[in-house]
């Protein structure tokens, strides 16, 4: 669907590996004081003084995690960085550097990799991080991209999944289910395009949900907001797999239970209308959709006045004793045990 017939096609082999790396990374600037040496030697050199370091990595595989028929490479580069930064913020840390490794088949011209790196550069500029290295190799089939993100956090300021206590409030940033519904729309338009290649999809009515799928943001702003509000969550996780499975992670790792209120789950109007159009239950989508990259955290009841009126935050439930279990309290006031359905990758 998204193709540019005017683009030129320079063979990667014309540049050679070192020429390619140099070409792709020549614009990257160093802005973090902790980066002593970035790209160009056998290893990067970092100095964090007395800070603690967090490290996280993700591997994205074409055909498993992304589909290039509707994912522009520029967005893919952006998203590959952002999903890693989201994990750094979920530790209550400041993201500072990333490394980017790619495996590419000869199906990709240089111009495609330039697009990928333009997205990486945009993310680096917006989130103020340095790209300090990576690896480049060939692949016999599709594209693989692996990003490792590094961040810093003062001792005792990191937030784990393990600190939730009974009676804590369960809070989520933003809204849920949009990335999954955006994917449903893109998959539908791809199927239409296969039958009729001249069709031009009108994605305007779905702009928000499609953007949430193709160009997600990490909630750096929420980490800043919580600091400004002087709220320190007792536990935190980012929502990559769906609300349900992330709540279960918090509960199991903190040894607590939970009541989640269906009517408190934040949904964008476009998610509700698209769910109606696809005849899918919006609660199911929020619980199991995934890829929302919002932050899910628990706070003590004493913090309620500081967060209750904030438009970026929704209180969606309460933590309980572990023996009381994990439940969804429905609009009809029935209690349904939470299940981790997920939907990704390993579900045949
Ligand atoms: P080595 O032979 O030690 O693996 P490389 O020639 O692969 O070194 O890399 C040279 C420099 O370029 C290193 O600083 C490395 O981190 C960086 N680099 C290699 N590939 C990439 C890439 N795809 N993106 C960003 N930096 C890269
Ligand atoms: Mg190398």
Which tokens belong to 227? 């600091």
Distances (CA, A) of 167 to 164, 202, 233, 281: 9, 46, 13, 29
Looking at the DSSP assignment, which residues form a beta bridge with residue 94? 152
Helix 207-214, helix 269-278: angle, nearest 10: 100
Q: Does position 347 have pLDDT exceeding 60, yes or no?
A: no
Q: Which residues contact 92 (CB under 8 A, 6 or more apart)?
A: 153, 157, 158, 159, 223, 226, 232, 233, 236
Q: What sign does the dihedral 265-271-273-276 (CA atoms) show?
A: negative
DSSP type of residue 34 = T
Pull the structure tokens for residue 36.
């002593």
Q: Which pair of structure tokens corresponds to residue 46?
A: 């970092």
Tell me the mean pLDDT in the region 206-232. Answer: 97
Distance (angstroms) between ligand 1 centre and the Cα of 8 equals: 25
Element (H, E) at 108: none
Decide whether any atom of ligand 1 lies within 6 Å of the 39 Cβ. Answer: yes
Take residue 335 and report the two structure tokens written for it.
């209690």
* 206 DSSP assignment: G
Which of 46, 119, 134, when mutated, tests ligand 1's pocket best, judged by the most ligand atoms within 8 Å of its CB? 134
181 — pLDDT class (breaks 50, 70, 90): very high
Higher pLDDT, 82 or 197: 82
Q: Does 107 or 225 have the greater pLDDT score?
A: 225
CB of 185 shorter than 6 A to ligand 1: no
Length of the chain counted residue by residue? 348
Please, which pLDDT band fits residue 348 given cuts at 50, 70 and 90?
very low
> Is 161:92 a contact under the CB 8 Å cutoff?
no
Per-residue pLDDT tens digits for 5-35? 456 788 988 888 889 999 999 999 999 999 9
Closest residue CA from atom 7 of ligand 1: 135
pLDDT digits (tens, 9 = 90+) for 233-290: 999 999 999 999 999 999 999 999 999 999 999 999 999 999 999 999 999 999 999 9
Best mutation site among 133, 144, 148 for ligand 1 pocket (most ligand atoms within 8 Å of CB): 133
- Specify the pLDDT at position 342: 54
pLDDT by residue (tens digit) across 62-94?
999 999 998 999 999 999 999 999 999 999 999
């Amino acid at each position: 669907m998204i193709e540019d017939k005017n683009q030129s096609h320079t063979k990667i082999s014309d540049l050679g590996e070192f020429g390619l790396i140099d070409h792709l990374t020549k614009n990257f600037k160093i802005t973090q004081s902790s980066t002593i040496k970035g790209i160009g030697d056998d290893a990067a050199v970092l100095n964090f003084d007395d800070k603690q370091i967090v490290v996280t990595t993700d591997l994205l595989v074409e055909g498993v995690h992304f589909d290039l028929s509707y994912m522009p490479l520029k967005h893919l580069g952006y998203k590959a960085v952002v999903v890693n930064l989201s994990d750094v913020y979920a530790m209550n840390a400041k993201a500072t550097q990333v490394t980017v490794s790619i495996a590419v088949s000869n199906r990709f011209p240089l111009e495609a990799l330039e697009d990928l790196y333009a997205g990486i550069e945009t993310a680096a500029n917006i989130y103020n991080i340095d790209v300090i290295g990576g690896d480049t190799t060939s692949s016999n089939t599709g594209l693989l991209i692996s990003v490792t993100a590094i961040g810093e956090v003062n001792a005792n300021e990191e937030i784990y999944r393990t600190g939730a206590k009974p009676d804590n409030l369960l809070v989520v940033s933003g809204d849920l289910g949009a990335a999954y519904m955006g994917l449903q729309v893109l998959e539908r338009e791809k199927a239409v395009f296969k039958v009729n290649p001249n069709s031009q999809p009108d994605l305007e009515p779905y702009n928000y949900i499609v953007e949430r799928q193709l160009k997600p943001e990490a909630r750096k702003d929420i980490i800043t907001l919580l600091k400004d509000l002087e709220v320190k969550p007792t536990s935190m996780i980012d929502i990559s797999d769906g609300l349900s499975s992330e709540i279960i992670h918090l509960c199991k790792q903190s040894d607590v239970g939970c009541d989640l209120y269906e009517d408190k789950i934040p949904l964008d109007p476009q998610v509700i209308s698209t769910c109606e159009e696809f005849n899918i239950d919006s609660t199911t989508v929020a619980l199991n959709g995934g890829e929302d990259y919002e932050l899910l955290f628990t706070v003590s009841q004493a913090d309620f006045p500081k967060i209750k009126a904030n438009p970026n935050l929704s209180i969606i439930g309460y933590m309980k004793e572990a023996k009381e279990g994990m439940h969804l309290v429905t609009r009809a006031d029935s209690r349904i045990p939470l299940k981790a359905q997920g939907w990704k990758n390993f579900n045949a």
